[in-house]
Amino acid sequence: MRGSPKQPAAAEFTANFEANLAAIEVFLTESQFSQGYAHLLDELGEVVVPNIERFPAMGRPFFAHAAQSVEALAVADRLCIRLARLAEYAELRDFVMHDYVVLYALVRDSAYLLLST
């Protein structure tokens, strides 16, 4: 079963995740709240990533949420297609932090961090 301590996943940052972190840094710096970015990095490095690696299935299944608009349905359809191309048993999950949501894909023994908003 995925998510047990016996089946850890290696967390990997995607280019999209890194780009989102960079955008968050710019926003927080321009808002004169650079310590917020430092706190985010600390929480990712000390709590979120280690927990996802140890318990990969801890996040909610992303597609368990019902899409509420035509646009959301279209995005969900595209995500399903992309996920199916990655691997037969890939799953998309989200993990809610205090002020951010981390979207990640579980593919085999890896957790690919995709988005943080």
pLDDT, tens digit, 9 for 90 and up, residues 38-88: 999 999 999 999 999 999 999 999 888 888 899 988 988 888 888 888 777
Closest to 104 measured CA to CA, from 1, 20, 40: 20
Domains and their CATH numbers in the chain? 10-116 (3.30.2310.20)
Measured between alpha carbons, how far is 29 from 91 in angstroms, rounded to an integer?
A: 34
Report the pLDDT value the prediction gives residue 5, as an integer from 0 to 100.
42
Residue 108's pLDDT band (boundaries 50, 70, 90)? confident
Q: What are the tens digits of pLDDT across the range 1-41?
A: 444 444 778 999 999 999 999 999 999 999 999 899 999 99
Report the pLDDT value the prediction gives residue 89, as an integer from 0 to 100.
80
Q: Are strands 110-116 and 10-13 parallel, antiparallel or unpaired?
A: parallel
Higher pLDDT residue, 4 or 115? 115
Q: Residues 55, 21: contact at Cβ < 8 Å?
A: no
Measured between alpha carbons, how far is 26 from 34 in angstroms, rounded to an integer?
A: 9
Output the CA angle 34-17-11, nearest 5 degrees.
110
Q: Residues 6, 106: contact at Cβ < 8 Å?
A: no
Measured between alpha carbons, how far is 109 from 4 in angstroms, rounded to an integer?
A: 12
